[in-house]
Amino acid sequence: MKPAVEFRDVDIVFGDDKAQALAMIDRGATRQEILEKTGTVLGCAGAGLTVNEGEISVLMGLSGSGKSTLLRAVNGLNKVARGSVVVHDGDWSADVVSCGDDQLRKIRRECVAMVFQQFALLPWRTVAENVGFGLELSGVPEAERKQRVERQLKLVGLDQWAQKYAHELSGGMQQRVGLARAFATEAPILLMDEPFSALDPLIRTKLQDELLQLQDTLKKTIIFVSHDLEEALKIGNTITIMEGGRIVQTGTPEDIVLRPANDYVRDFIANVNPLSVLTAWNVMRDRRDLEAAGEGGWLWLDRRCTTRFQIDANGLVEAAERDGKPAVWVSCDDIEKLPDDAPQVFWAKPGTTLKTVMLAMHRSQTAPVAIFDESSRFIGSIGVRDVLSAVLRR
Ligand SMILES: Nc1ncnc2c1ncn2[C@@H]1O[C@H](COP(=O)(O)OP(=O)(O)OP(=O)(O)O)[C@@H](O)[C@H]1O
């Protein structure tokens, strides 16, 4: 994995008395203390984060936690008081904090594009002219501009609307224009500052889906600010949680849900449905942790010892028993096609959703679910207790 943006010990403060504010940051002072003593507002402190190429990295936190401040450091909209923000473009890279004007111009024109919450469309320009605005500023010739604009409008499904004005479009459509405008620059890095939060929930969900679909083919590096954890969990490859200007946790969605770093993160995830995030891999017990069930490679899949598998030297299943009787092992994915009566042990892949695993458990009256890897080797199992611990986070 190659880094696209690296934040290294980034401090941003708003106000005149920067030196004293930085000294207070070093002593671990809170935003409130810094404000009272110096009149300076702490934007963010000691922020360290690497965003890899092609990744969607979400910055999450309550209002005022410093998400937008950090995001805006990438294209130099916010001045960094200390630390560095390195932007990579292929083999080229520059530190936004210390680079010269030429390099900053290159970053803004070629490397980084931004999508705002309020769609920021120019009302006197048509949709097509709005999408082409950045290109016009960069001096892209008209013919090429027209081509690129057309391509991007098609991508977001608005090619029929090219000659309309912003007020003739719904909020969702206006934000699609915002997306197309950012895509049109062909910058590999996209900064998105709460792009969907002004939209109603249905349109919002739809645009999130569309963004994920587009990302499948475009493979941009996206830094996405959100204060909505459900949104972050849905679209983020990694999530960074900020509190009072400081990063408190960075991790995958599963990390955040299963291993919250502190009470602030725990409060965030309190109302998240773990079934929408977790997979079999996240909750299974590894085969090495399972108890032997007699001679000949037999292992108990569950703590209650209702179900056991005989595993050969290659990790393949030779035989299965449930409640002392031979059982067949069948994929969770085929659940609907099976007769109810056969003694079954369901199996799943590591990436199978926890919801599917639970359906299988329900169907088999709480038998454990076996997990197989791509080569059909047995790698672990999930019992009722594992599911309960994951869902209740205990
Ligand atoms: N240009 C500025 N001048 C002065 N203070 C600022 C400026 N920009 C941000 N701040 C302050 O920095 C802190 C962090 O703000 P920031 O906008 O980054 O938070 P946020 O987490 O993005 O919040 P929101 O979700 O409300 O946008 C806030 O206290 C804010 O008032």
User: Residues lining ligand 1, CB < 6 A?
Assistant: 14, 41, 43, 61, 63-69, 227
Q: Which segment, 137-151, 180-194, 372-386, is predicted with the most confidence on average? A: 372-386
Element containing residue 310 per DSSP (H, E): strand 307-311
Instruction: Report residue 294's pLDDT band, with 50, 70 and 90 as the boundaries.
Output: confident
pLDDT the model gives residue 238:
96
C-alpha to C-alpha distance for 353 and 366, rounded to whole angstroms: 17
pLDDT: which is higher, 330 or 46: 46
Give, in degrees to the nearest 5, the angle at Cα 32 between 27 and 36: 90
The CATH homologous superfamily of the domain defined by 281-392: CBS-domain (3.10.580.10)
Query: At a CB cut-off of 8 Å and minimum separation 6, what does 352 contact?
Result: 279, 280, 332, 333
What is the Å distance from ligand 1's center to 69 Cα? 6
Q: Which atom of ligand 1 is nearest to the CA of 65?
A: 21
Residue nearest to atom 12 of ligand 1 (CA): 43
pLDDT digits (tens, 9 = 90+) for 326-353: 888 888 877 666 666 666 788 999 989 8
The mean per-residue pLDDT over the stretch 314-324 comes to 90
Answer whether 0.90 is exceeded by the pTM: no
Q: In this structure, what DSSP letter does residue 296 have?
A: S
Domain ranges across the chain: 3-272, 281-392
CATH number for the segment(s) 3-272:
3.40.50.300
Classify strands 221-226 and 56-61 as parallel, antiparallel or unpaired. Answer: parallel
pLDDT digits (tens, 9 = 90+) for 10-39: 999 998 888 889 999 999 888 899 999 998
What is the Å distance from ligand 1's center to 67 Cα? 8
Pocket test of ligand 1: the residue of 10, 13, 35, 41 to mutate, having most ligand atoms within 8 Å of its CB, is 41
Q: What is the ipTM of this complex?
A: 0.93
Residue nearest to atom 26 of ligand 1 (CA): 63
pLDDT digits (tens, 9 = 90+) for 117-140: 766 778 888 888 888 887 787 778
The mean per-residue pLDDT over the stretch 263-274 comes to 86
pLDDT the model gives residue 134:
78
pLDDT digits (tens, 9 = 90+) for 209-249: 888 988 888 899 999 999 888 899 889 999 999 999 999 99
